[in-house]
């Protein structure tokens, strides 16, 4: 379990370095800070979206659209939270680690 998290953190850092190389044409600390903020924020946003869907916030809206536009029986309808079983712990943890590494890089940059 921990190995999967470590692999995803390493992959996210490789993505940060590749994006900083693509967008800034060099790898320096300020480019790392900017890109790691965006990558970490996107991962946390994906995790929070998965959390909201998983807790059933959109079930009523989804059921309304199903009832309006679908010809499915009431027995066959399932809520959105059951149709999309998202696991949000991994992107949240990886995004949080990326943001923490970005904050450490900020202290190094301004220190």
Q: Is the pLDDT of residue 72 over 70?
A: no
Q: Is the pLDDT of residue 12 over 70?
A: yes
Q: Is the pLDDT of residue 13 over 80?
A: yes
Q: Is the pLDDT of residue 10 over 80?
A: yes
pLDDT of residue 61: 76
Q: How far is CA 65 from CA 24, 58, 76, 92, in A?
A: 44, 11, 14, 29
Dist. CA 73–CA 95, nearest whole Å: 40
Residue with tokens 């800070």: 33
Share of the chain residues as helix, strand and coil, in percent rounded to the nearest 5: 75, 0, 25
Q: How far is CA 91 from CA 40, 73, 87, 98, in A?
A: 9, 35, 8, 10
**What band does 30 get if pLDDT is binned at 50, 70 and 90?**
very high
Dist. CA 42–CA 73, nearest whole Å: 37
Dist. CA 24–CA 70, nearest whole Å: 48
Give the start-to-end residue ranges of the domains of the chain. Answer: 2-110
């Amino acid at each position: 379990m921990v190995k999967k998290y470590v692999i995803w953190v390493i992959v996210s850092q490789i993505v940060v370095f590749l994006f900083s190389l693509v967008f800034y044409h060099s790898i320096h600390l300020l480019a790392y800070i900017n890109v790691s903020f965006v990558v970490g924020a996107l991962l946390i946003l994906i995790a929070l979206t998965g959390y909201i869907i998983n807790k059933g916030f959109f079930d009523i809206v989804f059921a309304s659209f199903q009832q309006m536009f679908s010809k499915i029986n009431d027995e066959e309808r399932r809520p959105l939270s059951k149709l999309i079983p998202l696991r949000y712990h991994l992107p949240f943890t990886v995004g949080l680690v990326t943001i923490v590494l970005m904050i450490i890089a900020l202290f190094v940059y301004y220190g």
